[in-house]
Amino acid sequence: MMKSAEPVLSVEGLSLSYDTPHGELLALRDVSLTIGRGEIVGLVGESGSGKSSLMQAILQLMPGAARVTSGRILFEGQDLVALGPDGMAELLGDRISVVFQDPMTALNPVLTIARQMIDIQHRRKESRAAKRQRAIEMLRRVRIPDVESKIDRYPHEFSGGMRQRIAIAMALMAEPALLVADEPTTALDATLEIATINLLRELQQEIGCAILFITHHLGVVAELCDRIDIMYAGELVESGPVGPVFADPRHPYTQLLFACDPAQIVETTRHLPAIGGGLPDLIDLPEGCVFAPRCPRADDVCRMQRPADHSAASSDLVRCHYPQAPRLEILP
Ligand SMILES: Nc1ncnc2c1ncn2[C@@H]1O[C@H](COP(=O)(O)OP(=O)(O)OP(=O)(O)O)[C@@H](O)[C@H]1O
């Protein structure tokens, strides 16, 4: 795997709010993470933890009510927050690409696959025939059978799994430095999911791009990713290399998520395990640690003071007052 010291993406102290009729909703608070060149990073967290908000901020595709209140998002040295949506249009589909859960987000139903794959190469000064040939080659790489006859078909003429592979082919056409994959396998059955993950890994190795893989599936993170970033209620609570973090999670939230049998996590957990309690109100946050209301270990310090980011042997970042505490004893 290609890696260099300079990260491809570096989110630094990012805070993002939504203006709502009930007040300011603090969806992201002081989130910092990095993605190295050629690295695959899994971003996990339960619904409402802020994964989509972070992704939209990176892609500068934020809804009108969203506001970045502090921080930077450096991509190859350029601050995407300062660049804004207009500047981002230059990068999207070129240096940064996206694959969504629903491939039809990327595919136009009324145009043939050939037309769409030629159109996305508009930056290349080449003949249509050369662009068509490049599209054919890319579709072969994602294992679309019988490409030369199928390329002139419409999206609805392909199965769901094939449509997702076509969307992946389109996203990787420009050989981006970063692919943002938003639950790309969630809608697929388990067999197709494994095939798609294997394909992504293969293409990632060939192209050398980094991947930010957003998922609820801890097994996919264990299989595919180099690093894991765990979000809770708008904060990054733990971050580190997959092997060490799975072996010795340091944040109580991660420990609860990983409480079930590790083999089960890898093979069968397609949804994040449910843990007791609910997310706090992001318009009216608790005073101390955001996880304290659900944390079996919380004490008065946790309830009164926000924890700083610490590092531990297994994790680079643990936002907890007690990163060295013995692992929680979880009752079966
Ligand atoms: N356009 C919006 N206006 C107001 N609040 C929003 C908006 N979008 C998201 N939120 C709020 O921001 C918080 C984070 O939501 P976000 O969608 O980023 O979480 P998520 O982890 O991606 O969840 P999911 O897995 O369900 O997509 C939630 O409390 C959500 O209600």
Give residue limits of the domains in the chain.
9-95+174-319
Complex confidence, ipTM: 0.97
How far does the centroid of ligand 1 lie from the alpha carbon of residue 68, in Å? Answer: 14
pLDDT exceeds cutoff 80 at 260: no
47 lines ligand 1 (CB under 6 A): yes
20 lines ligand 1 (CB under 6 A): yes
pLDDT exceeds cutoff 50 at 116: yes
More confident of the two residues 210 and 192: 210
Mean pLDDT for 114-137 is 93
Residue 213 backbone dihedrals phi, psi, to 5 degrees: -110, 110
How far does the centroid of ligand 1 lie from the alpha carbon of residue 327, in Å? Answer: 30
Q: Whose CA is nearest to atom 17 of ligand 1?
A: 52
Instruction: Tell me how far CA of residue 42 lies from CA of 181, 187, 303, in angstroms.
Output: 10, 18, 29
Mean pLDDT for 100-119 is 93
Torsion sign, CA atoms 313, 289, 44, 217: positive
What's the pTM? 0.92
244 lines ligand 1 (CB under 6 A): no
Residue 151 amino acid letter: I
pLDDT exceeds cutoff 50 at 109: yes
3-state SS class at 268: coil
Is it true that domain 9-95+174-319 has CATH number 3.40.50.300?
Answer: yes
Mean pLDDT for 293-308 is 96
Residue 292 amino acid letter: A
Q: Whose CA is nearest to atom 26 of ligand 1?
A: 47
CB 111 within 8 A of CB 153: no
164 lines ligand 1 (CB under 6 A): no
